[in-house]
Chains A and B, each alone.
Chain A
Amino acid sequence: MQQDHVLDIQDLSVEIEGKEILSHLNLTIKSGEIHVIMGPNGTGKSTLTKVIMGDEHYRITNGSIAYDGQDLKTMKVDERARLGIFLGMQMPYEIEGVTNADFMRSAVHAKEKDQFQLFSFIKKMDKIVEQLHMDPEMIHRSINQGFSGGERKKNEILQMYLLHPSLVLLDEIDSGLDVDSLRIVGENVMRYYEENNPGLLLITHYKRLLDYIKPTHVHVMMNGTIVKSGDASLVEEIENDGYEAIAKKFSTSIGTCIIKEMTGHE
């Protein structure tokens, strides 16, 4: 039986080099929920995923992030990952010399420790590589080096499958994908969701990914906080009216006044 998990973010404010990026943000994600965050560029969506993962470039100035009641702020990035949190990145890094296979073996070994079995790891990896329509040679190449946009995103999904997280954060996993790759990535994320019941947080600009992944919660983020939440129908509203119109329903302009209005902070 799968366990239920909860990510709980309360009143979170974050800055980098003195500039506030997230402001009094609240968000709760439970197992089995698919949350989508949409919003204009530069509004803090990617920052949110990195802060949850523990990127030390960002400074938390207020609020809390907890996973299953454990304070994430005191945990290092690798500890959060071993707790079951996975971040699929928008632009996964290229690392020369370190092969995908070596990297993934180290990651799975770090999680499973004495339970790690090389043969079953290889078997599982081969199966997922096939499922994602990846070239098997990629496993033996340096991480993301010379990979196309689609190959990089598939590589992220491969890692997700192997690490078997209970909370999946996907930051613009649809960017740079052609229609076929988008379908493969979308279907495989949904398949993972159906088989494992994780909490899922998607950052996206486009409705097209949501043809494959059906959200239970949709949020609009502006100026570092969530200004509106709803169900899947909110995506249609955004598509039809745009972010500006949504913002106007709450305030006269997109600005910090919205944040204050929505969060109750003066």
Chain B
Amino acid sequence: MNKLKVVNDKIVSCELDDQLQVKLEEKNDFFDVNSLKILVLGDTDLEIEYESDHECKLDIFVNVKADVHFSLWEFRHGKRTKVQYKYYLDRNSNTMIRRIHHMEGIRELDLFHLNGECAKVDFLLKTISIKPEKYDMVVYHNAPKTTSNIVDHGINLEDGELIFNVTGDIPKGKTGCFLDQKNRIVTYNLEECKISPNLFTSEEDVTANHAAYIGKFKDEDVFYMMSRGIEERDAIRLLMKGFFLSNLELTKEKEEKLISILEDVWR
């Protein structure tokens, strides 16, 4: 797998095949943020680890060419970060994004531009929020028969506050689009959590769904586990693990790393 490591707003290491072009544009007199630009030319995958040891900002541009299948795995940890993603997905491209956050706060904007007919994005975010986190995501279905599946899963603990604003936009004439968003926050503190699902469709020939849930794990699930002798806190830990790790298709090494993070925040 192609690999990239970014510390704060700089690339520190990269191993890439010829299907990927990556460059970092340094901030200048006009832009006060470094920009990471990723061009995907052919079928490939990429794993990016972001680490921040101080508060920082970064803009990320991902451009997936026509007919390309691209799989992106991201793991972000460290100090508070402000990050902005812009995706440009061409005709018949298929992009799958798996993103995991364990941050001391984040402010994130994701703009998905599905520019070519039949472009598709599957996006899955998993975050453990222990400080305020806010995500604004907008999916522009700029071409017919485009598909977006957006899933945001957050576990809110300690001093966490978690906000998901997720918007889907389908203009008139972009027929046959499919838009689905599922947002869920499991919260075990008294801080604010909010989900705003927005579906703006000016076209009738579309399928648009959303689901949103904020709360603790269901009493029935906790009862079921406790009825097998598992203490309440351990039952919640198991449920948290299931919720956080599901659908990530992890290697053993990654799974163990994430389990140890969960163990750390839910002792």
User: Which residues of A are at the interface with B, using a C-beta cutoff of 8 A?
Assistant: 53-57, 76-78, 81-82, 86-87, 89, 92-93, 95-99, 102-104, 106-107, 110-111, 142-143, 159, 163
Contacts and interface: CB of A to CB of B under 8 A. Distances in A.
B227 A82 contact: no
Contacts of B219: 56-57
Contact of B221 (A93, A102, A106, A163): A93
* Residue with the greatest number of chain A CB neighbours at <10 A, chosen from B218, B238, B243: B238
B163 interface: no
Interface string B199-232: 0000000000000000000111101111111111
B229 A78 contact: yes
B246 A96 contact: yes
A55 B219 CA distance: 10
Given A76-B232, A102-B242, 19 more contacts: A53-B227, A77-B226, A78-B235, A81-B229, A82-B229, A89-B224, A92-B224, A95-B221, A97-B239, A97-B245, A98-B239, A103-B225, A103-B228, A106-B238, A107-B230, A110-B228, A110-B231, A110-B234, A142-B246
Contacts of B235: 78
A76 B234 CA distance: 14
Contact of A95 (B227, B232, B239, B244): B239
Contacts of B107: none
Contact of B228 (A54, A56, A163): A163
23 contacts: A54-B227, A56-B223, A57-B219, A76-B226, A76-B232, A77-B223, A78-B229, A78-B230, A82-B229, A92-B224, A93-B221, A95-B224, A96-B246, A97-B243, A98-B241, A102-B241, A103-B238, A106-B238, A107-B225, A107-B228, A111-B229, A142-B242, A159-B228
A57 B246 CA distance: 29
Nearest to B218: A93
A111 B221 CA distance: 19
A102 B226 contact: no
A224 B223 CA distance: 23
Contacts of B229: 78, 81-82, 107, 110-111, 163
Contact of A93 (B220, B231, B245): B220
Given A106-B234, A106-B238, A55 B223 contact: yes
A102 B238 contact: yes
A153 B218 CA distance: 21
* Residue with the greatest number of chain A CB neighbours at <10 A, chosen from B229, B235, B243, B244: B229
A77 B228 CA distance: 8
A128 to B, nearest CB: 15
Nearest to B228: A107
A87 B229 CA distance: 11
A96 B248 CA distance: 13
Contacts of A93: 218, 220-221, 224
Interface string B230-264: 11101100110111111000000000000000000
A247 B229 CA distance: 39
Nearest to A83: B229
B224 A110 contact: no
A95 B230 contact: no
A87 B227 contact: yes
B152 to A, nearest CB: 16
